Amino acid sequence: MCGRYYVDDDTAREIERIIRIADEKVRNMTARDIHPTDIAPILVADDRTLCCHMQKWGLPGFDGKQVIFNARSESVLEKLTFREAMDKRRIVVPAAGFYEWNTRKEKSIFYRKDQPVLFMAGLYNPYEEGNRFVILTTAANSSMKPVHDRMPLLLEENEILPWMLNLDAAKEILLKVPYLLERKTEFEQLSLF
């Protein structure tokens, strides 16, 4: 690539159109918890254009009853279920935060204090009834370890396009330690002993 590129009026209008579509889809959603098998907004790079799509969270399980809603980042390149998606169908799942439960079934909410959105790395697979996605997980960082040993593979904003458009960059991102998060609980169980 040469050392310059340009954006013209048509490019600017296309960017504005995509943002309007994404804004409309997200605006039509009310604040709510998203569970596996729910339809949720994801970011996809279609024909090298960033788009917001609605997809079902979770791949069909092997026995037809379970749902696979996450995938370990350490093994997605080897697992048959995820290998092709890792090669061709990487997505980003935006969220305000996520929940995790500790061994005593106490719920914690994890979020980013300095930004309103978390960007989680994901993959999708096509099915007859439509595309379905999973969220990638990785080993917990120090902000997550007190509650759980796994966490979503979190992307910085400047990693979104490299994650979706560049397989070599995506393979490097699989190895990263996610940034630290804030945690809050609805209540904190105290022990007298």
Q: Are 43 and 50 in contact (CB under 8 A)?
A: yes
- For residue 150, count other CB atoms closer than 10 A to its CB: 14
pTM of the entire predicted model: 0.82
Range of the domain at 39: 32-185
Within a domain: 81? yes
Q: What is the 3-state secondary structure (H, E, C) of 103-161?
A: CCCCEEEEECCCCCCEEEEEEEECCCCCCEEEEEEEECCCCCCCCCCEEECEECHHHHH
Give the CB-side neighbour count of residue 146, counting CA atoms within 13 A.
14
Within a domain: 192? no
- Find the helix or strand (DSSP H, E) in which 10 lies: helix 9-27
Phi, psi (5° rounding) for residue 84?
Answer: -70, -40
Total domains, the chain: 1
Task: Give the per-residue pLDDT at 1.
Answer: 36
Within a domain: 73? yes
Within a domain: 4? no
Per-residue pLDDT of the chain (193 residues; tens, 9 = 90+): 344 455 567 766 666 776 676 666 666 666 678 889 999 989 998 776 788 889 999 999 887 778 999 999 999 999 999 999 999 999 999 998 999 988 888 889 999 999 888 999 999 999 999 999 999 999 999 999 999 999 999 999 999 999 999 999 999 999 999 999 999 887 655 555 5
Q: Helix or strand or coil: residue 69?
A: coil
Within a domain: 7? no
Task: Give the per-residue pLDDT at 101.
Answer: 87
Task: Give the per-residue pLDDT at 105.
Answer: 85
CA angle 1, 84, 130 (to 5 degrees): 110
Q: Helix or strand or coil: residue 44?
A: strand
Please give the structure tokens belonging to residue 70: 């996450």
Within a domain: 12? no
What residues have CB less than 8 Å from 159, skipping those under 6 apart? Answer: 119, 169, 173
Phi, psi (5° rounding) for residue 45?
Answer: -100, 95
Task: Give the per-residue pLDDT at 30.
Answer: 62
The CATH number linked to 86 is 3.90.1680.10
Within a domain: 75? yes
